Amino acid sequence: MGEQELFTIKEVTGNDDLLTIDEMAAKLKVKPSWLYFRTMQTGSDAIPRVKIGKYLRFNPNVVMKWIEKTYGEAE
pLDDT in tens, the chain (75 residues): 455 555 666 666 666 689 999 999 999 999 999 999 999 988 878 888 888 889 999 999 889 988 998 888 654
**Structural domain harbouring 37:** 16-71
10 lies in a domain? no
Tell me, what DSSP letter sits at residue 72? -
Question: pTM for the whole thing?
Answer: 0.73
Angle between helices 21-28 and 60-71 in degrees, nearest 10: 50
7 lies in a domain? no
57 lies in a domain? yes
- Distance of CA 37 to CAs 15, 16, 18, 33, Å? 27, 24, 19, 6
2 lies in a domain? no
The DSSP element (H or E) to which 17 belongs, if any, is none
What is the number of domains present in the chain?
Answer: 1
63 lies in a domain? yes
Other C-beta atoms closer than 10 Å to the C-beta of 35 total 20
